[in-house]
Amino acid sequence: MAHAIRRPLFRKPSVLPGFGLTLGYTLAYLGLIVLLPLAALVVRGTGLGVEGMVEALATPRVLNAFRVSISTSLAAAIVNTVFGLVVAWVLVRYDFPLKRVVDALVDLPFALPTAVAGIALTALYADNGWIGQYLAALGIKVAFTPLGIFVALTFVGLPFVVRTVQPVLEDLDREIEEAAASLGATRRQTFRMVVLPYLSPALMTGFSLAFARGLGEYGSVIFIAGNLPNVSEIVPLLIVIKLEQYDYAGATTIGVAMLAMSFVMLLVINLLQNWSRRWSTG
């Protein structure tokens, strides 16, 4: 009976079996597949020392790759936030033909392999492509320029904002908008001062998810980017190039830098999601 009054240190007692087995397997599998390899990267990277890492990162080519990756991801995430809000709004508030098909299609970038998206977008936006030929006539080159990277990242980031805003918008009580209207607010004022603040945590979460995805994206970008060093070369491609040259130290350093950026984005996204949850529940 002594067990019954002892406060649980690690877990609450339960009549269900299998806790030790399943937790053990989960931890072992997680450790072997995810944590050990990630630790290998971090240890190999820090083994180079701060000086070695800075030296490997502070070359013009690497810095330019970071500039290209960050600026194109940012631009794509901004465009996706604006249009993602419009798409989510239309899907939640209005009725139109084939709405369900359109709703399902939004997830296409999650389902379509990135290499397939990459060659398809290149076929569309090359100078002789379906869309590219009209843009080329206007003097706009998309494929094989940073603009092409932006197009690819817009494609892969598209579902994030729509799918984070959509459920929040569905939960928004129409009575709040009615109250605003009955107090004399115009539709525009209601949207700007009531609806938009309510959606802003979700919008920022979606923006961050799209941005983080853009930073790491590889498959859809390399076909359309042209991969010109210092101009349209993204950071993940630089890791691949360093590996092909057997420059493991260089690849490791850039890998650690990218991992650090992923962790920062993960932290930001977690904070935003917590804020969003508190915001929408009261």
Site for another protein in 36-95 (CB under 8 A): 36-38, 40-41, 44, 83, 86-87, 89-91, 94
- Asked if 130 interacts with another protein (CB under 8 A), we say yes
CA angle (197 as vertex; 193, 201 as ends), nearest 5: 175
| Residue whose CB is less far from another protein, 231 or 266 | 266
Total interface residues for another protein by CB under 8 A: 95
Residue of 57, 64, 74, 114 that binds another protein (CB under 8 A): 114
Structure tokens at 146: 């940073």
Distances (CA, A) of 255 to 12, 56, 236: 40, 11, 8
- Asked if 212 interacts with another protein (CB under 8 A), we say yes
Cα 164 to chain centroid, rounded: 12
Crossing angle, helix 49-57 and helix 248-281, to 10 degrees?
90
Instruction: Identify the H or E element spanning 52.
Output: helix 49-57
Return the residues of window 159-188 that contact another protein according to CB under 8 A.
166-167, 170, 174, 177-178, 181-182, 187
Shortest spacing between CB 262 and another protein, in angstroms: 5
The span from the CA of 51 to the CA of 108, in Å, is 44
Return the residues of window 93-112 that contact another protein according to CB under 8 A.
94, 96, 100, 102-112
The span from the CA of 211 to the CA of 35, in Å, is 24
- Asked if 228 interacts with another protein (CB under 8 A), we say no
Shortest spacing between CB 30 and another protein, in angstroms: 6
